[in-house]
Structure 1
């Protein structure tokens, strides 16, 4: 009997939220025709991304089981979950969800159809108590089309006479079809009239709820299981129109699950077969190497080759709404270069080269890269981070040294290299923010990346015949390398005394407040977010980031300053966990759950990062302690969930099962973190090779072996030195042409030196200061011919004293 549709109550629904970021599986078809990506947690499908890797279109799709006497069970909450991939390196999954009360078992196989944008689930329902006819099984789908839970419209429709559940929003549509005919179906508003509310309260769906417009909506349909037919295939299709989405879904159903699965597995087998055999099996049986390589490949874009996002997750998503558009499904240039390094370590140079080509495409005209961006390169956050502007230079050099970027092809990247090097030399060495998107200042990590990148760029420019430009980049690197300790090394502190060391590298040292720059000189302060999560003085904040000085080849692993810093890092940041030691990002970190386990909400308490165990393992390998590096590899791998995915952070407190926080297991932050999987692959390669895979050789040769020092000490408006070590030439560097008006006798006599512009748009003047007597002051100011103005401020540098600037 036909029903009269009515408007479901509760419009527009409760505020939309995403779901758990603790994924147990991620996958895609590796097919240009598929262009969808999926995630799994708690035994059900979570976010599905379409048509781009940065466009989440669902919250989740799970099952509800009802039965006699008001029985109500939701598989994601009320069942125990098991998951395994079809085979090593193939991110298609078998799931088994067994009801906690022993009433039923649900088995699923989940993958994408490589031929079209459709997500397929083969579902088998088994009654463990009573008969199959005692139960009804419903699919509950929450559309969040194009990164938003509000503003969606859902309805019960049909396609060529067959029932289908449809939703639309922001120019995209989805359609959920079943191989077994849908029985009762409904559309409603979440929290009021959705299927969960109806079934929980009344045990039945109201078929009059046919359409829910412009809100936080959900679709529900009863799968037509019978006592003899207990297997069904659900097809979640996508398209630009409702008809296209439904057409895709039914086409996949017609083709069948097995042919789609065969093509899906073949795509992944073919790609995995091209990689180096670095296979390693965990105690669980998971091939950890193939799990990591599949994570890297799953996070790549098909529409924009070379683009890859940081994670197909939204940290603490269950607490995040539509105002958090990006989640982690954005491009971070730093993470992207780390991903390229993972591909390169695994033997997939083609993917690494695609990443370099993509980075070239989204580079900004002044040479920098956005802090993070959508796939089309448009910036999401407004900040600029200097390490992200330098990292692509290291990738280009790594590809060139490995023979994948011969001179002829290198020339096509020359404009990108020159622009990036220009941005770094003009705006460094102060970082816009550290690598964790937090405080500005002098960061050992960022400085290490900048210096190594300029040395790498110098070699690339040399290869292209640009000798003068290469010489200047090396001179700049030498000057910055000379001052690493002046900028970032603390001595005679309470931490030193407690650890019994002479000093250590701090996490980040704030720039001098006088270094804001002169508008006439063209320096533009980099936009920063508010300061970090601690009120501690900079010299009391330490971080494993200092190990980057070894990783990037600037300091030897046995340098006494590094050894002392490691002692401080372990005293302050090492956390003993069941899987082994992990480390915090820094003391006072506020990015993590609160002490009671409530989600990070702008404040919180940082938790240990498995990634940092991988970085520490590389340090141990550089120090010649291969066995210790191997132990840390195990701690890294044992931080993964059963599906092999590595989390961003793990919970370090007592078990809080009501918040799904267990000691040593993933917290509510991102999982998987692609950067952690890249580090895992690089560590496997490094252990095989017996050397740190991605350590640039230039710094090792120049600073550790040749012990090169700079003859210059540079004064800039963003780095105003106040003392000049004995025997150094004072180099003035400006971003506009000037006459340097200077005196060594307090203006009794004066001299003028004209700046000369180099290829990077920097105007230099080297003042003859090598023979200045100790304690004498050189005073200078500037005349700007471009405006006809004097600077009207005198600057002073004292010779022969310890530089405290």
Structure 2
């Protein structure tokens, strides 16, 4: 009798939480659907398998999977994949709506979410043998619930032209160039494809606590695809989701079904083993936090495109307006691109860690994208197509320094170096000549920048050595002569003696005209409302002069500028001391934490962890090893749960609820930040900056 009553109670419970009846319907309304843009850039995770046979990458947000990339790292292929849990009556919650904790092991991630009476554990990897993201979903609750998966494709980096449909127990999408397939094990019990904001599954679920309409196909448009899982949290607690990509629907479905034949545990084991094998071939410094250091190395390696070797992107994220403003950032966004400056940072970190093959591939990529006149694109897609086209002389000089550091002597490399050096020397624009640059390190101002000038001097000295070894002594002498002239004149172009920040000389961010004692006015950009006197503008980039071997760390002007920069740009936080990029920087959030956009409300650049790394390299040269170690610790302290290092952290003007020294919604992971962490760790072990070209320091410091 007791067993009969219990069975009756359970049947009643299932009836109570049953969702509304599913109705087969025709074409979904609301075409083409809204375009919400990409999700916030503060990623908690970034992963891919090590083998090149798996050309797919995923990112994780604070709850659930955000952008995936296929077939390369310049091409977002989805906007999000989220899970929904509901009791069918009183609540409906997405993973992204509840508190989520992220754990990371060799770029395999586990997210633990706690909702209303339920806990979900979701583990993410990619199949090392194919373009499939595999997701293990486990739900535990005290009573039976209903669970769903939501998927938003953006194939070929745009969603408005996607077609989607149910194919047996799979959800397929395509746009004529690429395709995706989403399957589950056990299979979906129901599927639907609609238009975002009107007929997609989340719109239905959020209103009705269940799927009331099933649409077999939709498109073209911005699609939302939904699959109902058999997981109830009590009797059935586990499902595996497979999201696969291909160049057409059939190939995507084939990949998904092939991945589905494997045990998730076996795939994860192979995934982790691939990254363990990579790390075993490299070195580990004594000074670093092992977990952050190894994660940083893996982030660097994962940032390399698999079809275009040597092409490492800046970040697998799209911060602020770059992810939502289609006019500003059509496709792809600038962080999904290769920047010669960032590539230099990445490659020097790889050299320090012992991945010489990876570093050499970056030079091969640079040779392939060098322009006919000798300069390198401001940035380019991983396939080599230039994206933004402004001239930044440091981006033409740093590839030379990198080639020298790798001791590249092959004919192609020497020819690349010669073309780049000749371009730098002959550069003229707007009535100015080199080392004046159309843009400096931070991309939005022309002028004479001490950081850019340091790079060009180092580039010419390294180029001289390389061409001389190839047998051209006359050209080598010309390069050295120009470098010496610029080294002698850098202060006259960029050091003010009558600026407002000190009675002693100090370096400026830049001068528009090479007249540092003139109050030349300019607008610094990024929503700053007026103009500034160039003598008021400082920037930590002047330390490139020391780190690249042009100036002594004991130089009086260098030391005075450090004091000025610390006072004007530095802040102490609970995680360490960090700095703003430059005076009046507007590249950051609004006062309320809202996103940066062009021409919108006033925005404020926050603090950058990379400057802690650069300061630490300077301090090693100044004989302050203990201080350098503190900088390394500060950088590590900015990592989030997934051990991703951010572009920026909050400053003392952080909005309510945000703590200074913790990550903002800026680009995360910033690959440059991970590279800087790796390089500083090795520099501490070496007792000096490992990236400093000895031939430059020998020329100017001895």
TM > 0.5 fold call: yes
Query: Shift of residue 493 of structure 1?
Result: 2.2
**Matches of 1:326 and 1:547, distance apart in 2:** 32
Q: What whole-Å deviation, never above 9, does each CA across 1:465-508 have from its counterpart, x for those lacking one?
A: 111110000001011111101100001222114xxxx1100001
Q: Figure out how many residues of one structure are paired with residues of the other and give that number.
A: 661
Q: Distance in 1 between matches of 2:700 and 2:129?
A: 54
Is contact 2:526–2:585 with CA below 8 Å preserved after alignment?
Answer: no
- Of the three residues 89, 107, 111, the one matched with 1:91 is 107
The 1-side partners of 2:85 and 2:22 are apart by 26
Deviation at 1:221, TM superposition (A): 0.9
Task: Return the offset for 1:321.
Answer: 4.3
Tell me the residue number matched to 1:359.
366
8 Å CA contact retained: 2:165, 2:218: yes
Deviation at 1:281, TM superposition (A): 6.4
* Contact 1:39-1:45 within 8 A present in 2 as well: yes
Conserved in 2, the CA contact under 8 Å of 1:147 and 1:322? Answer: no
Equivalents in 2 of 1:560, 1:512: separation in Å? Answer: 21
Shift of 1:190: 1.1
Which residue of the partner structure matches residue 433 of structure 1? 439
Of 64, 77, 81, which aligns to 2:100?
81
**Equivalent residue, structure 2, for 1:368:** 375
How do 1:260-279 and structure 2 match up within 5 A? 260-278=267-285
CA contact (8 A) 2:47 2:108 kept: yes
Name the counterpart of 1:606: 605
CA distance in 2: counterparts of 1:551 and 1:171, whole angstroms: 46
> Map of 1:4-153 to 2, 5 A cutoff?
4-78=24-98, 80-86=99-105, 90-99=106-115, 101=116, 103-127=117-141, 130-131=142-143, 133=144, 135-153=145-163
Residue 676 of structure 1, aligned match among 673, 676, 684: 673
Q: Does 1:316 align with 2:332?
A: no
Q: Against the structure 1 CA distance between its residues 4 and 97, is the aligned structure 2 distance closer, same or farther, given a 3 Å change threshold?
A: closer
Distance 1:530 1:42 in 2: 31
- Which residue of the other structure, out of 305, 310, 313, is the alignment partner of 1:306? 310
After the TM superposition, which residues 150-299 of structure 1 pair with which residues of structure 2 at under 5 Å, given as runs? Answer: 150-158=160-168, 163-169=169-175, 171-226=177-232, 227-278=234-285, 282=289, 287-299=291-303
1:576 shift after superposition: 1.4
State which drifts further: 27-36 or 66-75.
66-75
Which residue number corresponds to residue 740 of structure 1?
none
Look up the match of 2:465.
459
Runs of 4+ in 1 over 3 A off after TM superposition: 1-5, 279-282, 528-534, 653-658
CA distance in 2, matches of 1:491, 1:2: 76
Structure whose alpha-carbon radius of gyration is higher: 1
Q: How does 1:552-571 map to 2 (within 5 A)?
A: 552-571=548-567
- Residue 442 of structure 1 deviates from its aligned partner by 0.3
CA positional deviation for 1:440: 0.4
After superposition, the Cα gap between the structure-2 partners of 1:252 and 1:649, relative to the gap in structure 1 and judged at 3 Å, is: same
Q: Is the 8 A contact 1:279 1:287 kept in 2?
A: no
From the superposition, tell whether residues 531 and 26 of structure 1 become closer, same or farther in structure 2 (CA, over 3 Å): closer
Deviation at 1:430, TM superposition (A): 0.8
Distance 1:389 1:318 in 2: 25
Q: Tell me the CA shift for residue 196 of structure 1.
A: 1.0
- 1:493 aligns to what? 499
| Matches of 1:584 and 1:657, distance apart in 2 | 20
Q: Are positions 1:667 and 2:664 aligned together? A: yes
Q: Please say which of residues 644-653 and 300-309 is displaced more in the overlay.
A: 644-653
Q: Secondary structure at the match of 1:70?
A: coil
C-alpha separation in 2, matches of 1:635 and 1:183: 49
- 1:687 positional shift: 0.2
The CA distance in 1 between the partners of 2:583 and 2:154, in whole Å, is 37
Q: Tell me: CA distance 1:318–1:507, structure 2 relative to 1, closer, same or farther (3 Å).
A: closer
CA distance in 1, matches of 2:320, 2:170: 32
The superposition leaves residues 288-345 of structure 1 with CA deviations (integer Å, 9 ceiling, x where unpaired) of: 1101101100100111111110000001269614442233110111101111011001
TM-score (norm 2): 0.91
Normalised to the residue count of structure 1, the TM-score between the two structures is 0.80
Question: Structure 1 residues 317 and 530, CA, compared in 2 at 3 Å: closer, same or farther?
Answer: closer
**Please, which runs of 5 or more residues in structure 1 have no aligned partner?**
514-527, 706-805
1:536 aligns with 2:536: no
The question of whether the paired residues in 1 share the 8 Å contact of 2:194 and 2:224 is answered with yes
Shift in CA distance, 228/2, structure 1 to aligned 2, threshold 3 Å = closer
Which stretch shifts more, 597-606 or 232-241?
597-606
Query: What residue is the counterpart of 2:505 in the other structure?
Result: 503
RMSD of aligned Cα (Å): 2.0
CA distance in 2, matches of 1:666, 1:170: 39
Shift of 1:2: 10
1:226-268 Cα distance to aligned partner (Å, 9 max, x none) = 5432111000010111111111111101122122222212211
In 2, distance between residues paired with 1:373 and 1:487? Answer: 31
Q: Supply the distance in 2 between the matched residues of 1:256 and 1:484 (Cα, whole angstroms).
A: 62
Q: Is 2:524–2:584's contact at 8 Å kept on the other side of the alignment? A: no
Kept in 1, the 8 Å contact 2:22–2:211? The answer is no
Cα distance in structure 2, aligned partners of 1:417 and 1:318:
33
Q: Deviations over 1:413-445 (max 9, x none)?
A: 121111111111111211120111110000000
| Structure number with higher helix proportion | 2
- The 8 Å contact of residues 280 and 288 in structure 1, kept in 2 or not, is answered as no
**For the residues of structure 2 that align with 1:16 and 1:395, how far apart are their CA atoms?**
40
Q: Secondary structure at the match of 1:65?
A: strand
1:647 aligns with 2:646: yes
Deviation readout 1:186-208 (Å, 9 max, x if unpaired): 11111111111101111221343
Rounded Cα–Cα distance in structure 2 between residues aligned with 1:662 and 1:56 = 31
The one of the two structures with greater contact order (alpha-carbon pairs below 8 A, sep at least 6) is: 2
- Secondary structure of 2:76's partner? coil
| 1:573 maps onto 2:581 in alignment | no
Counterpart secondary structure, 2:375:
coil
Give unmatched runs, 5+ long, in structure 2. Answer: 1-20, 428-433, 516-522
- Distance in 2, matches of 1:512 and 1:169, equals 52
- Matches of 2:22 and 2:609, distance apart in 1: 57
Separation (CA, whole Å) in 2 of partners of 1:342 and 1:326 = 26
Task: Give the match's secondary structure for 1:146.
Answer: helix
Partner Cα separation in structure 1 for residue 493 and residue 278 of structure 2: 46
- 1:387 aligns to 2:394 (yes or no): yes
| Distance in 1 of aligned mates of 2:95 and 2:376 | 44
User: Is contact 1:279–1:290 with CA below 8 Å preserved after alignment?
Assistant: no
SS of residue in 2 equivalent to 1:589: coil
Q: Please list the CA deviations of residues 329-363 of structure 1 after superposition, one character each: whole Å capped at 9, or x if unmatched.
A: 10111101111011001111111011101111111
| Residue deviations 1:608-631 (CA, integer Å, cap 9, x gap) | 000111111111111110111111
Return the alpha-carbon distance in structure 1 between the equivalents of residues 625 and 388 of structure 2: 40
Question: Which stretch shows the higher mean deviation, 645-654 or 215-224?
Answer: 645-654
User: What is the alpha-carbon distance in structure 2 between the residues aligned to residue 620 and residue 532 of structure 1?
Assistant: 34
Aligned to 2:13: none
Structure 2 equivalent of residue 772 of structure 1: none
Give 1:663 deviation, angstroms.
3.0
- Cα distance in 1, alignment partners of residues 136 and 88 from structure 2: 26
SS of aligned partner of 2:531: coil
